């Protein structure tokens, strides 16, 4: 008689450790952790096919276990307590949002498919390596503490949101596909977008009364696809070139507000455009633009006011002064209007004259400091002079 002994078939289930109870509870709430009990683990089979995971505002401190979400493509982490984030095991990841976490370190070097990354309001993160993320299309880092970032390898970048970030400089020369750029409130001394010929929208400038963005020259002549240029409080802007052969499709806002009061950009005297005659006649499209400055349009601002006035055509004295100024002009130049601005560009006074070659201005009522005079002649051409009130 033959006896057959059947050994029992034992199947060993594979588990993934989830040490953070808040993370595991979030998985239970989403119906992902099938046993429904916070016990520090989850069946790997429960998580390895998850494509999208949203665990925002779950008070998570530790994301250990995320590495076994092998199919994960979208991860929403905003508003948790994460100080470290390593996404090395999630090679399918395309979208990562870690907004408002106290991150000290983040590793996305293995996420070659990453298309969108949100680093906003990361007030402790000092650096990030994006050199391997060549498919990155959207980078959001509003209010982020990172001071320097290398985007030279991100050749597919289309959208960069960096409003209020701590960036000190930015090199966009390799980002040829860039279409949207927001660097409002960023402490920049210069901005070069000459290589970004596909750029459609540009936002820059400062908050009212703040001059952390000290851009003095901005050349947008290569940006023939530009549709929106919005800048606020570029107090030091002297040179602006908007001659991009597409002014008809360009909307421009160049505003100036100091606190709650409107002001003017005192350094900006000339703007280069496609059709200066239409601009100076306030015709379309220039009559749809909003620019807080006393300026004129030109095809070539390099000529400056030399076409009309030389520096020797007008004399301002005494400077500094305690109570009064005298403006004296040479032959062929007559003063019709003088506007007084403070150093923040706020218009203080408008003085009109009967086409005089020498005028006196009482400034005894002004507080001590630096001021600007916008002096206009009898045909409407203006120039700027600075004076010091003692």
Residues 147-195: pLDDT tens digits? 999 999 999 999 999 999 999 999 999 999 999 999 999 999 999 999 9
Assess if residue 161 is contained within a domain. Answer: no
pLDDT reading at 305 higher than 60:
no
Tokens of 229: 């240029």
Does residue 115 contact residue 139 with C-beta atoms inside 8 Å? no
Pairing mode, if any, of strands 369-377 and 382-389?
antiparallel
Please identify, among 56, 72, 88, the residue that sits at the C-terminal boundary of a domain: 72
Find the helix or strand (DSSP H, E) in which 328 lies: strand 324-329
**How many whole angstroms separate alpha carbon 200 and alpha carbon 218?**
16
Please identify, among 72, 90, 111, the residue that sits at the C-terminal boundary of a domain: 72
Please identify, among 47, 72, 97, the residue that sits at the C-terminal boundary of a domain: 72
Assess if residue 54 is contained within a domain. Answer: yes
Close Cβ partners of 16 (under 8 Å, ≥ 6 residues apart): 41, 42, 43, 44, 47, 65, 68
Dihedral (CA of 338, 341, 345, 347) sign: negative
Assess if residue 157 is contained within a domain. Answer: no
Q: What is the mean pLDDT of residues 341-364?
A: 80
Assess if residue 154 is contained within a domain. Answer: no
Close Cβ partners of 114 (under 8 Å, ≥ 6 residues apart): 93, 94, 95, 96, 108, 133, 135, 136
Tokens of 51: 């494509």
Assess if residue 22 is contained within a domain. Answer: yes
Assess if residue 294 is contained within a domain. Answer: no
Q: How far apart are the first and last CA of the chain?
A: 121
Q: Write out the residue range of the structural domain in which residue 350 sits.
A: 312-389
> Model-level pTM?
0.83
H helices of 99-224, in order, are none
Neighbours of 173 (CB within 10 A): 12
pLDDT reading at 306 higher than 60:
no
**pLDDT tens digits, residue range 380-389?**
666 777 889 9
pLDDT at residue 210, rounded to an integer:
75
Does residue 252 contact residue 273 with C-beta atoms inside 8 Å? no
Which residue did the predictor score with more confidence, 358 or 110? 110
Tally of structural domains, the chain? 2
- Beta bridge partners, 352, equal 337
Buried b / exposed e along 10-34 (16+ C-beta atoms within 10 A): eeeeebbebebebbbbbbbeeebbe
Assess if residue 45 is contained within a domain. Answer: yes
Assess if residue 104 is contained within a domain. Answer: no
Q: If you compute the radius of gyration of the chain from its CA atoms, what whole number of angstroms results?
A: 30
pLDDT band at 378, cuts 50/70/90? low
CATH of residue 355's domain is 2.60.40.3080
Contacts 24+ apart (CB under 8 A), 115-124: 116/140, 118/78, 119/144, 119/146, 120/144, 120/161, 122/98, 122/146, 124/83
pLDDT reading at 332 higher than 70:
no
pLDDT at residue 359, rounded to an integer:
83
pLDDT at residue 55, rounded to an integer:
98
Of residues 274, 276, 216, the one with CA closest to residue 250: 274
Tokens of 283: 């015709």
Question: What share of the chain in percent tops pLDDT 90?
Answer: 68
Let me know if 88 is exposed, middle or buried by CB neighbors in 10 A (0-12, 13-18, 19+).
Answer: exposed
């Amino acid at each position: 008689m033959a006896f057959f002994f059947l050994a029992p078939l034992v199947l060993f289930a594979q588990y993934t450790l989830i040490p953070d109870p808040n993370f595991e509870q979030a998985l239970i709430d989403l119906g992902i952790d099938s046993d429904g009990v916070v016990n520090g683990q989850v069946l790997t089979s429960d998580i390895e096919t998850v494509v999208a995971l949203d665990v925002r505002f779950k008070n998570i401190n530790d994301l250990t276990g995320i590495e076994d979400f092998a199919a994960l493509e979208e991860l929403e982490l905003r508003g948790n307590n994460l100080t470290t984030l390593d996404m090395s095991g999630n090679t399918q990841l395309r979208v990562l949002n870690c907004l408002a976490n106290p991150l000290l370190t983040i590793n996305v070097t293995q996420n070659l498919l990453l298309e969108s990354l949100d680093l906003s309001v990361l007030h402790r993160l000092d650096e990030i390596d994006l050199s391997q993320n060549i498919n990155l299309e959207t980078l959001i880092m509003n209010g982020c503490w990172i001071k320097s970032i290398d985007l030279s390898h991100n050749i597919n970048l289309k959208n960069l949101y960096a409003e209020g970030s701590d960036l000190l400089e930015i090199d966009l020369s390799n980002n040829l596909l860039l279409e949207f750029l927001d660097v409002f409130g960023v402490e920049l001394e210069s901005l070069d977008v000459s290589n970004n010929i596909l750029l459609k929208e540009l936002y820059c400038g400062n908050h009212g009364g703040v001059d952390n963005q000290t851009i003095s020259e901005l050349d947008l002549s290569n940006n023939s696809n530009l549709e929106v240029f919005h800048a606020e409080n570029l107090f030091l802007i002297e040179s602006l070139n908007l001659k991009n052969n597409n002014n008809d499709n360009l909307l421009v806002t160049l505003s100036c507000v100091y606190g709650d009061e409107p002001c003017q950009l005192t350094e900006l005297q000339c703007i280069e455009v496609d059709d200066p005659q239409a601009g100076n006649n306030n015709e379309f499209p220039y009559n749809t633009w909003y620019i807080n400055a006393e300026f004129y349009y030109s095809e070539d601002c390099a000529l400056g006011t030399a076409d009309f006035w030389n520096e020797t055509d007008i004399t301002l004295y005494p400077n500094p002064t305690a109570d009064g100024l005298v403006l004296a002009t040479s032959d062929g130049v007559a003063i019709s209007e003088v506007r007084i601005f403070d150093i923040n560009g706020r218009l203080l006074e408008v003085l009109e004259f009967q086409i005089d070659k020498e005028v006196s201005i009482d400034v005894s009522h002004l507080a001590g400091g630096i001021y600007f005079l916008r002096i206009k002649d009898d045909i409407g051409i203006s120039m700027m002079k600075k004076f010091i009130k003692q």
